[in-house]
Structure 1
Amino acid sequence: MERNEGLKIVEKQLTKKRYEHTVRVMETALELAKHYHVDEKKVEIAAIFHDYAKYRHPEEMKRWIIQEKLPHDLLNYHQELWHGPVGSKMIEREVGIRDPEIQSAIYWHTTGKRYMTLMDKVIFIADYIEPGRDFPGVEEVRSIVFADIDQACWMAARNTICFLMSKNQPVYPDTFQLYNEKIGRNMNGK
């Protein structure tokens, strides 16, 4: 799929502000893909479609979670987390994108997880640091991302966990696993 075709498809699914965010995520992800030697075409498609399901009705997303046998524990967390896993399935059924690497990057872009692929990391962190983002800690992550994408992902997970805890909100277990993966490597001297 060509860039313009993908952008036209997602533009119909998103608000103007979210579409602009998507373009910035795509541009950031492509910079990271070049730097880390990740398949740029796949990264581009994953970035374009990462928020494809973002504005679907919660009841529709709930049906997708149940029908597609996605982890039912998602239903115990804020619906903001649902659009990644649901979107990874929707793009297959509605758009015809059947690429496990692209679908994985879309699936994990909100929570992250332990043992992410490099493409997963690129989409996860591009979504976090794109130039339109402005929140405490984002500059610190931006400053390290081209030197150490693993450290950047860990910092993003740490910041997200701290933010959610400050709001007394639950943290999805895979985000803790991402955080713990890096801590475990540091403790073992790797």
Structure 2
Amino acid sequence: MKKSEAISLAKEKLPDRRYQHSCRVADTAVQMAEIFGANEKKCFLAGMLHDYAKYDDLKDMHKIVKKYHMDPEYLQYKSEILHGPIAAHIMKTEYGVTDADVLYAMENHTSGRSNMTLVEKIVYVADYIEPKREIPGVKGIRKVVFSDKNLDKAVFLITKANLLHLISKDRMIFSRTIECYNYYNRVKE
């Protein structure tokens, strides 16, 4: 898929605020690709399209999970977890995106997972640190990325923050997020 097509798809489907976020994530992912030696085009595409299914109907998402025999654990969650896997599925089945790096990055940008690919890690982090995000601790994570150049530590810190937030709200935690935390807790240094 060409960059211009990804931009058009995101712009047509997403509300302007979410489209602008996607643009910032794509731009941040490209900056990070330069630092960490990743494929810039893959990072851009995954960043631009990561939230493509963010506002899809939950019942429709669950139907896709069942019809295509996706991980049944997805059925326990709402859009916060589902929109990534559904966006990846739509890009693969309807738009012919076959690059595993792009699809994995879209699928796991919210949950993370253990032993992510470089593009996955970049999009996971870029989604959290894009310039307009004002999440507590985000400035420190930006420093870890752009000054310390430690991508694994950034993944760990983001996952830890996400887990603490979910626990404080008594929310269920997706198994891949726990696996992500445990994996990057070991490799962050």
Q: Same fold (TM over 0.5)?
A: yes
Which residue of the partner structure matches residue 102 of structure 2?
Answer: 102
Whether the 8 Å CA contact 2:152–2:187 is kept in 1: the answer is: no
**Structural mapping, 1:1-190, within 5 Å:** 1-146=1-146, 147-185=149-187
| Matched pairs, number | 187
Alpha-carbon distance, 1:47 to partner: 1.0
Which whole-Å CA distance do the structure 2 matches of 1:135 and 1:173 have between them? 23
Alpha-carbon distance, 1:185 to partner: 4.0
Whether the 8 Å CA contact 1:68–1:89 is kept in 2: the answer is: no
Which whole-Å CA distance do the structure 1 matches of 2:86 and 2:159 have between them? 21
Identity of aligned residues (%): 32
- After superposing on structure 2, the runs of 4+ consecutive aligned residues of structure 1 that deviate more than 4 Å are none
Alpha-carbon distance, 1:19 to partner: 0.1
Whether the 8 Å CA contact 2:113–2:180 is kept in 1: the answer is: yes
Which whole-Å CA distance do the structure 2 matches of 1:15 and 1:126 have between them? 20
Give CA deviations for 1:18-52 in whole Å, capped at 9, x if unaligned.
00000000000000001111111111111111111
Which whole-Å CA distance do the structure 1 matches of 2:173 and 2:139 have between them? 23
CA 1:177–1:97 in 2, change beyond 3 Å: closer, same or farther? same
Whether the 8 Å CA contact 2:166–2:173 is kept in 1: the answer is: yes
Which whole-Å CA distance do the structure 2 matches of 1:185 and 1:122 have between them? 16
Q: Please list every run of 5 or more consecutive structure 1 residues that lacks an aligned counterpart in the other structure.
A: none
Q: Please list every run of 5 or more consecutive structure 2 residues that lacks an aligned counterpart in the other structure.
A: none
Which whole-Å CA distance do the structure 1 matches of 2:26 and 2:174 have between them? 25
Whether the 8 Å CA contact 2:81–2:110 is kept in 1: the answer is: yes
- Please tell me the residue identity of whatever aligns with 2:107: Y
Q: Name the SS of the counterpart of 2:13 in structure 1.
A: coil
Could you tell me the TM-score, scaled by structure 1's length? Answer: 0.94
Whether the 8 Å CA contact 2:111–2:176 is kept in 1: the answer is: yes
Which whole-Å CA distance do the structure 2 matches of 1:53 and 1:79 have between them? 8
Whether the 8 Å CA contact 1:113–1:178 is kept in 2: the answer is: yes
Could you tell me the TM-score, scaled by structure 2's length? Answer: 0.94
Alpha-carbon distance, 1:60 to partner: 0.9
Q: RMSD in angstroms over aligned alpha carbons?
A: 1.3
Alpha-carbon distance, 1:78 to partner: 3.1
Give CA deviations for 1:90-139 in whole Å, capped at 9, x if unaligned.
00122221111111111110100000011110010000110111111211
Which whole-Å CA distance do the structure 2 matches of 1:157 and 1:137 have between them? 12
Whether the 8 Å CA contact 2:58–2:78 is kept in 1: the answer is: no
